[in-house]
Amino acid sequence: MHHANHFYGHADVLASYAGLRKTRAIWGYLQHGWNILDGFAHGTNFAAGMPKYVWTDSVRRRGQSMGIRNYAVIGSVWLYLLKNHPKLATQDKKAKGTLFYPFHGWEGQNVLGDHGRIVASINDHETGPVTVCLYWNEYHQPAIRKVYEDAGFRVITHGYRGLHWRKTDPDFLVKQLRELRGHTRVASNRLSSAVLYGASVGLQPGVYGDPMVLENEHPSFGGQARIKRLWPEMDQPFVPAAIAKEFTDTELGVDHVVCPAEIRELFRWND
């Protein structure tokens, strides 16, 4: 089925949760990141009648208002990862500093912006050690990496998410979880999946700095103006813990996680 189901090793995480030794194709379309529209990338060509697995009921409602059908709400794959790795659910006693995720592009769209301004924003708000996690395509651009290294930051990447069933790193999210557990704060210049993931495991989140621009971003998503209008409480350098937890639990779909048997049934993984 759709290659995006395997991004970040999502299909592998769910197969493990469902008790399978090998990853299988998911029958349908799986939401792979925090989404403020119908749950999927603009232009996704849905096959008629195929199920669409999303994180929250709000995503389902938005999609249905656009005429999309056959939704099933199952929560974020990240929540299943946490169930697969309970030993990583507790914070490292040596955790310190901030893990910062600059907004990134992908194979089809670049990010336009000044990384030097991001460095300045980080220096304005962070006092402890800083780790900057770049997506793979920015990480492999020495000029971008150097901006953060010259600022004295540790610079890493979680790896390659995969594309068209190639080079998928099934441990991408495990690497991300381990890095998050080694820090006490998570921040980004845009509200994003990474900020939600960090907040879900107790890190204090922040959103600040130049949000940058995604090349040829489709206006249907509403851009940063829509996000700031809908969730102003999350658009600040230090988001209060209670606000972060309520938002994160809702947007990750904590109340919608299903059992292993239901995953096998939904994805047609029963022999």
List the Cα angle 215/135/42 in 5-degree steps: 40
Average pLDDT, the chain: 91
| Residue pLDDT, tens place only, 34-46 | 999 999 988 888 9
Name 204's bridge partners.
185
Extended beta strands in 3-58, E state: 29-30, 52-54
**Average pLDDT for 172-188:** 96
The answer, yes or no, to whether residue 108 has pLDDT greater than 60, is no
Q: Domain ranges for the chain, please list them.
A: 3-85+253-266, 87-249
User: What element of type H or E holds 98?
Assistant: strand 98-101
Q: What is the pLDDT of residues 218-262, one digit of tens each?
A: 666 667 788 999 999 999 999 999 999 999 999 999 999 999 999
Q: What is the pTM of this model?
A: 0.94
pLDDT, average across residues 3-8: 90
Q: Which helix H or strand E contains 224, and what residues bound it?
A: helix 223-230
Of the CATH numbers 1.20.950, 3.30.450, 3.40.50, 1.20.120, which one belongs to the domain with range 87-249? 3.40.50
**pLDDT tens-digit series, residues 54-72:** 999 999 999 999 999 999 9
